[in-house]
Amino acid sequence: MNNRYIIEAESLTKHYKMGSEDISAVAGVSVQIEQGKFYAFVGPSGSGKSTLLNLLGALDTPSAGKLNIGGEQVFDSEVNGKPSQRNLTAIRRKYFGFVFQNFYLLPTLTVKENISLPLLFTRKKIDPVHIDKILSKLGLEGRGRHLPSQLSGGEMQRVAIGRALAVNPQIIIADEPTGNLDSKNAALVFEVFKKLSQEGITVLTATHDVQLAQNFSDKIVRLKDGKIVEGEAGIC
Amino acid sequence: MNFFKLAFKNLLRRKIRTILTIQGIAIAIFVLFSLLSFQNGYKNSLTREMNDLGINILAVPKGCPYEAASLIVHGGVIPKYLDEADLKAISGIDGIELATPIFLSQIYEKDQERTSIIYGIIPQEYTKVKPGWKLNGQYFNNNDTAAIVIGNEVAYQEKLGVGDEVYFPSVGKVYKVFGVLERTGGQDDGFYFLPLAEAQRIFDKIGKITAVAIKIKDLTKIGDISKKLEEIPDIQVVTMAQVLGTILNLVGSARTLIFSVVLIALIIGTLGIVNTMFVTIYERRREIGILKAIGAGNFDVVKLIILETLIIAIIGGIEGSVLSFGGGHLVESFVRGVIPYAPKRMLFTFQFANFGIAIAYSVIIGVLAAIFPSIKAASLSPLETIRKDE
């Protein structure tokens, strides 16, 4: 394990059964994620971006391969079986914040309540100053008492990023975070990710928007048919 | 932000469904609470009414003695009679302090569609078995032929007072009201009391007696005296303790039936919550997955679902109990119509212990209803939330 890398994956594989057909969503991917960098995973639909992010984010278990997160061995198909859901939950709580394409804010909770929600599950005391700082960082001052229905799409996604930041994660996983946003708001979201990576948070995002990825991310990972495309078009 | 607040706000998202589910529980708890209140109130009322009766034993004609005794207490008519010889035989038994004859019948006024219950008594004797009676006016003598004493309810309904006249067209008689009983809270409030001889005469039953009310000197001898009474031909003996027991048994059967209905209502209410929670969880599987993705463990999800269910059940429990306080008299009037014998006093006694039982039931229902939905919710994978087209 190299301290430079917060995530290390080796020959990571994920198979699905679809009827009698065996689908390889991720086919032996090896990747090393540097701490504090902004990674954009790009590729066409079905290329395995989201599945790979789910595996790297301990949301899903691989079919084979090795996965280390923060120096902890999460999965090694040669040594042990699948990790338990409890272990995966513990890993997620310890390292990750998640941002989704559809925001998934709870509609009856205010912006502040949505942001502080993960703290409820980590049994950490909710510090109002911490929540205010997050709001300020995301340009959401004055929106703390608003409900999600009173916000624009861009604002909702920033609240979702705030929710991911509430537990001070080392890594943020954002799967198609700009999929429901216009180009202006999409750029704003990527700008936030860029800033967060500069503060030392590792950001992994899947996107269709190559231009956006090129403009803001530190590294682009191209995927096709469940594999990282090597060479000039691969990690760059 | 805490789990309770989160659970409460989640329920507000589906207001109508939440309200309907709460109503299901509220109705079940309303019936349960009412039944518990009835159980306490009915027995107390009946016991007090029997005690107020002041009679230890009723001697009635052979037949169904308990039914006869109930009818006498209630004011019904028994088509069988004892005679003066029976009374003399009863009075001759040792240990009897008083044996006073009662003649009971009804006058039906067809034109007015009114039934008047006539109680023929010897007031100087009968008042000894009714020590609680208070009279405005005076009692008649047994030789009077135009005097009457009326119950308080009769006076109120017919707007009669001391000195007024009561006319019974079907027997062609007018009686002057000598006295009006103060409210007893029992069946006596609804009776017309005539001198025994006059009552026997207008119904053409000279020398006939419906029952003999017996007061004994020593209550511990009630068994021996009952045995001696039963040796008299044509007589059957009913102790008031037996009447009380018989009525309570009859009501107990009705109560068992009602408890069964309540049980069914509670099961339906519980299944209603289970169904609601399953539907809610199905609709919210993505949200639950998201909660798990952002750090919620299985226990957190179980806790959240149980809290939501408990909130529904407890609100339903409180609403049902409050409804019982407010609507208990409606249920009471319904119950009066269906049970075999209803004392005039309050049938429903509301006790805070019953409130505790109703809430405890609600909590049990809530926990039971939450078990399967919460396990189902906890088993959802966070991946459910983010599976989308690639």
Q: Chain A partners of B297 at a C-beta cutoff of 8 Å?
A: 86, 89, 121
Statement: residue B389 has pLDDT above 50: no
* Cβ-Cβ contacts under 8 Å for A156 (sequence gap 6 or more): A103, A105, A148
Length, in residues, of chain B: 390
Question: Could you tell me if residue A36 is left (phi over 0), alpha (psi between -120 and 50 degrees) or otherwise beta?
Answer: left
| Interface contact A89-B3, CB threshold 8 A | no
Closest CA in chain B for residue A207: B390
Total domains in chain A come to: 1
Instruction: Say if residue B36 is in the same domain as residue B129.
Output: no
DSSP secondary structure string for all residues of B165-197: EEEETTTTEEEEEEEEEPP-SSGGGGEEEEEHH
pLDDT at A11: 92
Q: For residues B172 and B187, give the distance between their C-alpha atoms in angstroms, rounded to a whole number.
A: 26
The beta-carbon neighbor of A89 closest among B10, B287, B297 is B297
Q: What confidence tens digit (pLDDT) does each residue in B323-360 have?
A: 887 777 777 777 777 665 666 666 677 777 878 888 88
| Interface contact B294-A89, CB threshold 8 A | no
Please state at what angle helix B285-293 crosses helix B240-283, rounded to 10 degrees.
70
Closest CA in chain B for residue A93: B295
Domain edge (last residue) among B176, B206, B233: B233
Domain edge (last residue) among B233, B264, B297: B233
Please report whether residue B95 resides in a domain: yes
pLDDT at B75: 57
Vertex B289: Cα angle to A33 and A46 (nearest 5)? 55
Instruction: Say if residue B186 is in the same domain as residue B273.
Output: no
Total domains in chain B come to: 2
Interface confidence, given as ipTM, is: 0.82
Q: Chain B partners of A103 at a C-beta cutoff of 8 Å?
A: none
Instruction: Say if residue B40 is in the same domain as residue B189.
Output: no
pLDDT at B344: 64
CA end-to-end span of chain B: 35
Query: Which has the minimum average pLDDT: A108-122, A169-183, B55-69, B122-136?
Result: B55-69
Instruction: Say if residue B142 is in the same domain as residue B98.
Output: yes
| Interface contact A117-B12, CB threshold 8 A | no
Q: Which of A88, A92, A96 to mutate to test the interface with B (most CBs of B within 10 A)?
A: A92
| Structural domain boundaries, residue A106 | 5-233
Helix (H) or strand (E) holding B239: strand B235-239
The residue that leads in pLDDT, A43 or B113, is A43
* Cβ-Cβ contacts under 8 Å for A159 (sequence gap 6 or more): A103, A105, A111, A114, A115, A138, A140, A143, A148, A151
Instruction: Say if residue B259 is in the same domain as residue B375.
Output: yes
Q: How far is CA B295 from the centre of its chain?
A: 55
Instruction: Say if residue B268 is in the same domain as residue B154.
Output: no
Statement: residue B289 has pLDDT above 80: yes
- pLDDT per residue, tens digit, chain A (236 aa), is 456 789 999 999 998 877 778 888 899 899 999 999 999 999 988 888 989 999 999 988 899 999 999 988 888 877 777 788 788 888 988 999 999 888 889 888 999 999 999 998 887 788 899 999 999 989 898 899 999 999 988 899 999 999 999 989 999 999 989 888 888 989 999 999 999 999 999 999 999 888 999 999 999 999 998 899 854 334 55
Joined together, the tokens standing for residue B94 give: 């040792």
Scanning A46-105 for CB atoms below 8 A from B yields 46-51, 54, 59-60, 85-86, 89, 92-93, 97-98, 100-101, 104
The beta-carbon neighbor of B386 closest among A164, A167, A175 is A175
Give the count of Cβ contacts less than 8 A between chain A and B: 81
The CATH number of whichever domain residue A89 belongs to comes to 3.40.50.300
pLDDT at A126: 82
Statement: residue B56 has pLDDT above 70: yes
Statement: residue B244 has pLDDT above 70: no
pLDDT at B100: 92
Q: Which of A89, A99, A110, A123 to mutate to test the interface with B (most CBs of B within 10 A)?
A: A89
Please report whether residue B222 resides in a domain: yes
* Contact present, A170 and A203 (Cβ < 8 Å): no
% of chain B surpassing 70 pLDDT: 86
- Residue whose entry in the numeric block shows the structure tokens 């912006």: A111
Q: For residues B346 and B108, give the distance between their C-alpha atoms in angstroms, rounded to a whole number.
A: 29
Domain edge (last residue) among B233, B267, B282: B233
Please report whether residue B55 resides in a domain: no
Instruction: Say if residue B18 is in the same domain as residue B156.
Output: no
pLDDT at A232: 36
| Structural domain boundaries, residue B90 | 63-233
Instruction: Say if residue B81 is in the same domain as residue B26.
Output: no
